[in-house]
Amino acid sequence: MLEIDPDALIGRGLHRECYTHPDNRERCVKIVVAGDSNENLREARYYGLLARRDISWEMLTRFHGLVETNLGEGAVFDLVRDYDGDVSKTLAHYLGSEELTTANSKPLSSALAGLRVYLLENRVVTMTLKTKNILLQKTAENDAKLVIVDNVGNSDFIPLSNYSAVLARLKIERKWRRFEQSIRARHAGNKALPSLLAC
Ligand SMILES: Nc1ncnc2c1ncn2[C@@H]1O[C@H](COP(=O)(O)OP(=O)(O)OP(=O)(O)O)[C@@H](O)[C@H]1O
Ligand SMILES: [Mg+2]
C-alpha cells in the first residue's frame, strides 16, 4: 500500500485531491474525496481508448492505473512540472491576473493555439474545457505549452464521437468555441486577454 503524506498535497478540485507520488516526483496520485466513483470509471475507460489509439501525450497527463493508498483508492497520473522543477500552475491562475497575462502573453497565445491543434490532431474529446483543469507548463523561460489534467472523455449517453473522426472534430471545435467564450466571460476585466484568443 502506498503511504501518502498529507503534506504532499498539490491541489484540490471539487471531487479530488492531488498529491505528489511518494516514490516518483514525476507522478501524482489523485484521491476522490467527493462525488461518485463512476466518474473515475468513465475516465479510466476513455484513457484506455486513447492509449489503444496510441495518441501523443504531449498535452494530456497520462494515466498510470489505480493504487491502494492510506487515503483510499488513488489514480496515478503524470505530474506536470515547469522547467525549473516547480509544479505547473493552472491557466486560471495566469488569466486571473492581468499582470501575469501580460508578462506571459506570447507563450500563452502560442500555447492556446497549440492545444487546439493537439486536441484536433489526436482526436481527444473533452467534457467542458475549464481553465482550472489546464496547466500552463513553462518549458523554458519564454516558452510554454498547455496540459490538460482533468475532464477528458465523453459523457454522452451514446458516445458516437468516440468512434467517428468527423463527429469528434465537430465536438472538439464546439468545445473550443465554448472554452474561448467562457474565458472571455470570466475574465472580462483582463485587458491583456483579447490578443490571446483567436476570435
Ligand atoms: N497532473 C497534475 N500535475 C500537477 N498538478 C495537478 C495535476 N492534476 C491536478 N493538479 C492540480 O490539482 C487540482 C485538482 O485536480 P483535479 O482537477 O484532477 O481535481 P478534480 O476534483 O477532479 O477537479 P474538478 O473540480 O474540476 O472536478 C488541479 O486544479 C491542479 O491544480
Ligand atoms: Mg479539476
Query: Ligand 2 centroid to 16 CA: how many Å?
Result: 8
b/e per residue 166-193 (b: at least 16 CB within 10 A):
ebbeebbeebbeebbeebeeebeebebb
- Checking if the pLDDT of 7 tops 80, the result is yes
pLDDT score recorded for residue 39: 73
Residue 135 is predicted with a pLDDT of 98
Would the pTM count as exceeding 0.85? Answer: yes
Torsion (CA) 6, 57, 43, 75 in degrees, nearest 10: -20
Task: Give the three-state DSSP class for 83.
Answer: coil
The arithmetic mean of pLDDT across residues 117-143, rounded, is 95
Please report, rounded to a whole number, the percentage of residues in the chain having pLDDT higher than 90.
Answer: 81
pLDDT in tens, 18-65: 999 999 999 999 999 987 767 777 888 899 999 999 999 999 999 999
Place of cell 451514446: 158
Task: Provide the residue ranges of all domains of the chain, joining segments of one domain with +.
Answer: 6-78, 89-194
| Closest residue by CA, ligand 1 atom 19 | 13
Per DSSP, the three-state class of 135 is strand
Instruction: Please work out whether the CB of residue 2 comes within 6 Å of at least one atom of ligand 1.
Output: no
Looking at all shown ligands, the one closest to residue 17's CA atom is 1
What separation in Å is there between the alpha carbon of 36 and the centre of ligand 1?
16
CA 159 to chain centre: 21
Provide the CATH topology of domain 6-78: Phosphorylase Kinase; domain 1 (3.30.200)
Q: Would the pLDDT of 159 be above 90?
A: no
Ligand 2 center from residue 151 Cα (angstroms) = 7
Q: Is the CB of 89 under 6 A from ligand 1?
A: no
Residue 66: CB atoms within 10 A of its CB come to: 14
Give the residue with greater pLDDT, 198 vs 96: 96
